[in-house]
Amino acid sequence: MKRALFISYNGIKGIGAPQVIEGENRLAIVLPGVPMSEYLGIDPVLRKQKMIELFYCEEVLEQHDPSILVMYIGDHGLAEAFSLASMLAGEDKELHFVSCECQSKRKKELCGEWLLPNPHFHETTCGGEYVMRALLDQFIATGVITCFPRQG
Ligand SMILES: [Zn+2]
């Protein structure tokens, strides 16, 4: 059974709540945050709290032990995002970042600082909702994450 974790502090298109989605011989743990459109109305302190809650779903992770990690990294919370990626990725996991252009230089630096195992970068507009969903659909359909998906 191949297992992948999809995690974003922003939304994942069409996914309203944390869930496990199964395909043939594969399983995706999907932990969405709050869609960008709703973010704007949320107090920054509460937003940060939600991000932190999202980042500590250890029970789910221990239960499923995903070997593939797909994470959105945007403009905010880079320190938290890289800290989490480092914790989850270990030394042998396949790591995919869905990344917007914001702070792209800083993101590359952080990959080096955190010694992350050669992450794959997938370009997206800010928020990453569509690309996260496209990669999820690709994984469920094929069991692998290969191409840079078109933005929908
Ligand atoms: Zn951005």
User: Using one digit for the tens of pLDDT, what is the confidence trace for 1-27?
Assistant: 999 999 888 889 999 878 889 999 999
How would you classify the pairing of strands 94-99 and 120-123? parallel
For residue 147, is pLDDT > 80? no
Q: 128 C-alpha to center of ligand 1: Å?
A: 9
Q: 123 C-alpha to center of ligand 1: Å?
A: 10
Q: 28 C-alpha to center of ligand 1: Å?
A: 25
Is position 149 within any domain? no
Is position 51 within any domain? yes
Q: 117 C-alpha to center of ligand 1: Å?
A: 23
Q: 101 C-alpha to center of ligand 1: Å?
A: 6
Q: 46 C-alpha to center of ligand 1: Å?
A: 20
pLDDT digits (tens, 9 = 90+) for 82-95: 888 888 887 788 99
pLDDT value of residue 152: 45
Is position 152 within any domain? no
Crossing angle (nearest 10°) for helices 104-113 and 78-89:
40
Is position 84 within any domain? yes
For residue 142, is pLDDT > 80? yes
Nearest one of 66, 79, 72, 59 to 121, comparing CA atoms = 72
Q: 108 C-alpha to center of ligand 1: Å?
A: 14
| 60, 34 Cβ separation under 8 angstroms | no
Is position 76 within any domain? yes
Tokens read off for 49:
């709290």
Q: Which residues of 61-85 are buried (b: 16+ CB within 10 A; e: fewer)?
A: beebebebbbbbbbebbbebbbebb
Torsions phi, psi of 83, nearest 5?
-60, -45
Q: What is the mean pLDDT of residues 129-152?
A: 85
Looking at residue 129, which CATH number applies to its domain?
3.40.50
pLDDT tier at 63 (50, 70, 90 boundaries)? confident
Total structural domains within the chain: 1
Cα separation, 92 vs 80, in Å, equals 21
The label of the residue with tokens 């109305």 reads: 41
Is position 65 within any domain? yes
Q: What is the mean pLDDT of residues 126-151?
A: 87
Structural domain of 53: 2-142
Q: 22 C-alpha to center of ligand 1: Å?
A: 30
Q: 95 C-alpha to center of ligand 1: Å?
A: 20
Cα separation, 68 vs 62, in Å, equals 14
Q: 132 C-alpha to center of ligand 1: Å?
A: 14
Is position 148 within any domain? no
Is position 77 within any domain? yes
Q: What is the mean pLDDT of residues 119-136?
A: 94
